[in-house]
Structures are given as structure tokens and as C-alpha cells.
């Protein structure tokens, strides 16, 4: 093990492990890494330096929900040669809630055997903002058991520290940047034509395109943005100089929200293209390259993989002045807004700036 340092900043997750793990240790990761998606899966990219190299430093092993029952056996068999790295500790319904007592039992078992637990704090609250008090209790319990608390940016430290009731000066903090997404920019016109042909839609080449992408879910504020934009576009009599693309699979439990989006855009379909589908990795370059701007309308967010992917493709980003977005306020490709009026001001500016879109 390396001697402890006072600096919590690291280049990659391996460096964070080196302070608490001997070389050759096994790192159990939950949820499972989707190795079939090496260009778009966050977990794969986070552990890429260990997965892609023939390294004896650490072996990364995914576990699924059922395999939690094996955690005490891993603990007893490996002792000082194993660690647990957990992501996304939350629940959405009663079924997943009922699983947490036994998960806490396994976490306690690891603590009893003094086996390191690393927890990546992706969100301070569940996206649906349900069971907030219980989630905070659960998160603070996990923070107590964790040997390292991993966040992606120093700007998140203060809020995370307060929420988890862990001192800012604790040695638990481990700040490792969000992994970059590999980008394969394509020609814009080619990309639009490919999407139009693949999905039988009609994205206009001569309009400024705004993309909202990722899983379709209420917490992303998609519907609120669309409703606000309908009124704005109709008032401004914009013609077809702005086109909005909404793309991504419908998240479990969000079918009603999906239907409301379809109903809303049916009022003025000429402004919108709705692609509620799972996108294979080889189609992401065309989706991002077809877009001039990527827009996010979250009311609450801590970290965002969508932001990192948009920036990897050098897309202009329009986002609320919250969470990880706030840390990008000085980035040349990022524009932040504090309310709907400021959002519409940004939209108006880009319309005036791009009577005809210019593209790389």
C-alpha cells in the first residue's frame, strides 16, 4: 500500500485504491459493468485502466443483485485481498426497498472483517425525490461504513459532506474525475440523414438542432421544457429555425410520462423529433453529431454522464446552474440558466446568432 496522502485528488480510480488495497486484491463492483458497451458504459470507462491492461494490480469482478448473498463468503475467503466498490445506492419501489436490510447486513459483515468499502456518491437524493428521509439515513449509514467516498469533482465536496455528515477534512474523500467518453464525430448532414432514414423521421438539416438525450424520465424536466418551448416558439413565430430532438429509452415506470411527451409534441410536430429508443453504441456518434446543442433541464442533479458525453463531442451545452453543471460555468461550450426566463433568453440568442447553423 502507498502511504496516505493529504491530497484527495487522483487521476484514476486505481490511485484511490492504492491507499487502502494491496496489489493483487479483488474489487467487487455493483452494479455489473456492461462490458459490451466499452464506449458508453460509465462503469466500464471508470475501470478501463484495469479491464483493458494485463495488470496484476487489481482484478475487477462485477456482482449482480442476487450475488450479494455471496458477499460474506467473499469476505471470509479473501480477507485482506478484497474490497467492495458500490455505486447508485437507492431504491424506487417497495420491492427494491425490501432488499436493503440484507444489503446493509452484508455491508456490516465487510465492516466487521475490516474489508474496504468504496462508495461512489452519484446522487444526494433519488431522482424521483421519494423516501427522502430514509434515503438520507441509508446514505449516512453507508458513509459511516465506507473507507473511501468517491466523488467526481471538488465542487461537489461541500454539499456531499453536509448531506452525509462527513467532515470536509475526512481522509475518506477520494476525488477522481468522471471518465471521458470516446468520441467519433461525424459529418452533421450525414448524421441527420442517417437518423432520418434509420428512424423514418424528418430532422431538417437547415435548422438549429437541440438535443435532450438519455433515459426518458420525469426528473429530467423534458416535459416542462417542451411545454415552455411550445409557447415560446409559437409566440416568436419561429418558423422552422429550431428543431428539438428527444432521444433515449423510456425508463422503467415512466410509460405515463412518455405518453404525455407524445401528446405534448403532437400539438406542433414540426418542431420536434421524438426517438424513445435504446441507441446502440455505433449510433451515438450520429446522434451527437446531428445536434448543435445538448440541453439539460434537471431541477436537481449531482453528477451527469450526459454532460461529459456532450462535451466529449464538443457540443454546446445549455444547462441549469446546479450540481456538476455549476462547475462548468467558465467552460466555453457551456451556458447556464437559473430559471425559465433565462433559458428562453439563451434560446433567443442562439436563434439570432444562427439564422443558418454553422457546424464543425
The domain spans of the chain are 13-175, 188-353
CATH node for 188-353? 3.40.50.2000
Q: What is the pLDDT of residues 200-234, one digit of tens each?
A: 999 999 999 999 999 999 999 999 999 988 877 77
CATH topology classification for 13-175: Rossmann fold (3.40.50)
Of residues 122 and 234, the one with the higher pLDDT is 122
Among 79-83, 87-91, 291-295, where is mean pLDDT lowest?
A: 79-83
* Average of per-residue pLDDT values in the chain: 88
CB 203 within 8 A of CB 236: no
Residue 6 backbone dihedrals phi, psi, to 5 degrees = -90, -10
Answer whether residue 86 shows pLDDT above 60. Answer: yes
Average pLDDT over residues 276-283: 96
How does residue 97 score in pLDDT terms, banded at 50, 70 and 90? Answer: low
pLDDT of 99 reads 66
Q: Does 32 have pLDDT greater than 90?
A: yes
Question: How high is the pLDDT of residue 114?
Answer: 85
pLDDT at 11: 93
Per the model's pLDDT, the better-predicted residue between 62 and 6 turns out to be 62
What cell numbers appear for 88 in the block?
Answer: 447508485
Say if CB 292 and CB 357 are below 8 A apart: yes
How far from 277 is each of 28, 115, 348, CA to CA, in Å? 31, 41, 30
State how far the Cα of 288 lies from the Cα of 267, in Å rounded to an integer: 26
Task: Give mean pLDDT, residues 54-59.
Answer: 78
pLDDT tens track for 148-185: 999 999 999 999 999 999 999 999 999 999 999 999 99
β pairing state of 58-62 and 25-30:
parallel
Average of pLDDT values for 304-319?
96
Q: What is the pLDDT of residue 6?
A: 43
pLDDT at 360: 45
**Residue 94 binned pLDDT confidence (cut-offs 50, 70, 90):** low
Give the model's confidence band at 108: pLDDT under 50 very low, under 70 low, under 90 confident, else very high: confident
Q: Where are the alpha helices (DSSP H) in the chain?
A: 13-18, 42-46, 48-51, 71-78, 94-97, 100-112, 132-145, 157-164, 188-199, 222-236, 255-265, 284-289, 305-312, 323-326, 340-353
Radius of gyration of the CA atoms of the chain, in A? 22
Tell whether the model's pLDDT for residue 45 goes beyond 70.
Answer: yes
Per-residue pLDDT, 4:
40
325, 319 contact by CB (below 8 A): yes
Hey, what long-range contacts does 195-198 have (CB within 8 A, 24 or more apart)?
195/273, 195/275, 195/286, 195/287, 195/290, 198/283
Query: In this model, does residue 57 exceed pLDDT 90?
Result: no
Residues in the chain: 360
Contact 145, 89 (CB under 8 A): no
Nearest CA among 194, 30, 167, 51 for reference residue 103: 30
Quote the percentage of the chain above a pLDDT of 70.
Answer: 89
C-alpha cell at 200: 423514418
**341 CA to centre of own chain:** 26
| Average pLDDT of the residues in 6-26 | 87
Residues 6 or more apart from 205 whose CB is under 8 A from it? 188, 189, 192, 193
Rounded to two decimals, the pTM is: 0.90
Q: Which three cell numbers stand for residue 230?
A: 411550445
Whether residue 139 has pLDDT greater than 70: yes
Which pLDDT tens digit goes with each residue over 185-200? 999 999 999 999 999 9
Mean pLDDT, range 116-144, rounded to an integer: 88
pLDDT in tens, 322-349: 999 999 999 999 999 999 999 989 988 8
Kindly report each contact of residues 156-161 with a partner whose C-beta sits within 8 Å and lies 24 or more positions away, as own/partner. 156/121, 156/302, 156/303, 156/323, 156/324, 156/327, 159/124, 159/302, 160/121, 160/124, 160/302
The angle, 0 to 180 degrees and rounded to 10, between the axes of the packed helices 157-164 and 132-145 is: 100
Are 247 and 211 spatial neighbours (Cβ–Cβ below 8 Å)? yes
Amino acid at each position: 500500500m502507498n502511504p496516505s496522502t493529504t491530497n484527495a485528488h487522483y487521476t484514476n480510480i486505481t490511485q484511490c485504491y492504492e491507499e487502502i488495497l494491496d496489489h493483487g486484491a479483488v474489487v467487487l463492483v455493483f452494479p455489473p459493468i456492461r462490458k459490451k458497451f466499452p464506449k458508453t458504459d460509465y462503469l466500464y470507462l471508470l475501470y478501463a485502466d484495469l479491464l483493458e491492461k494485463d495488470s496484476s494490480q487489481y482484478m475487477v469482478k462485477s456482482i449482480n443483485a442476487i450475488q450479494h448473498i455471496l458477499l460474506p463468503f467473499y469476505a471470509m475467503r479473501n480477507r485482506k485481498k478484497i474490497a467492495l466498490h458500490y455505486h447508485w445506492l437507492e431504491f424506487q419501489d417497495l420491492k427494491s426497498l425490501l432488499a436493503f436490510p440484507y444489503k446493509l447486513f452484508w455491508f456490516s459483515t465487510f465492516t466487521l472483517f475490516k474489508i474496504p468499502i468504496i462508495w461512489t456518491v452519484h446522487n444526494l437524493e433519488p431522482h424521483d425525490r421519494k423516501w427522502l428521509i430514509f434515503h438520507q439515513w441509508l446514505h449516512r449509514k453507508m458513509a459511516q461504513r465506507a473507507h473511501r467516498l468517491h466523488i467526481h469533482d471538488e465542487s461537489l465536496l461541500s454539499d456531499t459532506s453536509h448531506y452525509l455528515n462527513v467532515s470536509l477534512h475526512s481522509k475518506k474523500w477520494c476525488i477522481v474525475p468522471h471518465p471521458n467518453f470516446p468520441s467519433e464525430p461525424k459529418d452533421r448532414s450525414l448524421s441527420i440523414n442517417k437518423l432520418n432514414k434509420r428512424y423514418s423521421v424528418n430532422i431538417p438539416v437547415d435548422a438549429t438542432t437541440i438535443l435532450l438525450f438519455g433515459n426518458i424520465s420525469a426528473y429530467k424536466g423534458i416535459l416542462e421544457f417542451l411545454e415552455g418551448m411550445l409557447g415560446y416558439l409559437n409566440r416568436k413565430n419561429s418558423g422552422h429555425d429550431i428543431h428539438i430532438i428527444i432521444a433515449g429509452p423510456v425508463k422503467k415506470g415512466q410509460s405515463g410520462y412518455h405518453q404525455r411527451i407524445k401528446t405534448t409534441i403532437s400539438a406542433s410536430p414540426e418542431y420536434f423529433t421524438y426517438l424513445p429508443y435504446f441507441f446502440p453504441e455505433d449510433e451515438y456518434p450520429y446522434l451527437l453529431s446531428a445536434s448543435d446543442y445538448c440541453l439539460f433541464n434537471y431541477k436537481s442533479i449531482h453528477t451527469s454522464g450526459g454532460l461529459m458525453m456532450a462535451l466529449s463531442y464538443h457540443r454546446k451545452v445549455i444547462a441549469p446552474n446546479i450540481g456538476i453543471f455549476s462547475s462548468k460555468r467558465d467552460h466555453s461550450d457551456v451556458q447556464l440558466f437559473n430559471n425559465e426566463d433565462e433559458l428562453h433568453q439563451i434560446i433567443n440568442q442562439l436563434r439570432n446568432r444562427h439564422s443558418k447553423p454553422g457546424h464543425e
